[in-house]
Amino acid sequence: MKVSLVTVTFNSDQTLRDTIQSVFNQTYSDIEYIIIDGLSKDNTVEIIRKYEPQFQGRLKWISERDNGLYDAMNKGIRMSTGDIVGIINSDDFYHRRDIISRVVEAFRNERTQAVYGDVRFVNSDNLDKTVRYYSSRNFSPNRFRYGFMPAHPTFFTYRKYFEKFGYYKIDYHIAADYELLIRFLYVHRLKSKYLSLDFMKMRTGGASTASIKSNILLNKEIVRACSENGIWTCMPLLFLKYFIKVFELFLTKE
């Protein structure tokens, strides 16, 4: 079973080495790694070129102008040839070597159509310091209306479902991943399996957590995503999730 991993980069030279190395370190051998760069102006491309020979033909990459993060993700998925596709962001990294092996093992069950798990948010200055643990354990599709989704970077599914149900909508600025998960897990009811496993470490300060302004935009786009897919919600209902996030700060699982 071939797995395609997609990373989108733009001026990512401060973190990309950890991301690439974590993919290279995976014990599962049948991995295709695709990097989509948006014409970085730093040393990102030089880092990719340095690692390329180590993958012995399993790493494919392009550097060209795109229409944003989600457009770049779509490019990577369309370039992929694997049975299963997953996204790993350029400032995240797998901190275990058996993550992809565990994912593939879950897909051995023919009824499993998607897999997801947990993520560990870490301090950018101390990657061993967990500041928040995001668990997808209690997720169910009816929780989309409250602003909850499985941790997107842990989401794996068959490539054929992107071709069948559609790719990321590029007219979303920050929540196209949320909309896609609604489509796959709520509208089309893919049979998913939760793995009680923290797939990766994520540095704090991502696009959806960067500021109050970005959180407001995120919630507006969540309302839109729900509306477009037949789920009723509203902004006050979404704000309830922040009470849950407070408790996540204490669930660091060190």
Span 130-149, average pLDDT? 93
Residue range 3-252 forms a domain whose CATH class is: alpha beta
pLDDT score of 29 = 93
Per-residue H/E/C for 13-70: CCCHHHHHHHHHCCCCCCEEEEEEECCCCCCHHHHHHHHHHHHCCCEEEEECCCCCHH
pLDDT score of 48 = 98
**Residue 242 amino acid letter:** Y
Report residue 75's pLDDT band, with 50, 70 and 90 as the boundaries. very high
Higher pLDDT, 209 or 127: 127
Structure confidence by residue, pLDDT tens digits, 200-231:
999 986 554 456 888 889 999 999 999 999 99
pLDDT score of 252 = 56
The domains of the chain are located at 3-252
Q: Are strands 59-63 and 31-37 parallel, antiparallel or unpaired?
A: parallel
Span 221-243, average pLDDT? 90
Structure confidence by residue, pLDDT tens digits, 155-169:
999 999 999 999 999
pLDDT score of 208 = 46
Span 107-122, average pLDDT? 96
User: Does the pLDDT at position 151 exceed 80?
Assistant: yes
pLDDT score of 212 = 80
Structure confidence by residue, pLDDT tens digits, 57-67:
999 999 999 99
Structure confidence by residue, pLDDT tens digits, 5-26:
999 999 999 999 999 999 999 9
User: Does the pLDDT at position 118 exceed 80?
Assistant: yes
pLDDT score of 218 = 93
pLDDT score of 214 = 85
pLDDT score of 108 = 96
**Residue 63 amino acid letter:** S
The overall average pLDDT reported for the chain is 93
Structure confidence by residue, pLDDT tens digits, 22-38:
999 999 999 999 999 99
pLDDT score of 204 = 84
Phi, psi of 246 (to 5 degrees): -60, -40
Span 145-157, average pLDDT? 96
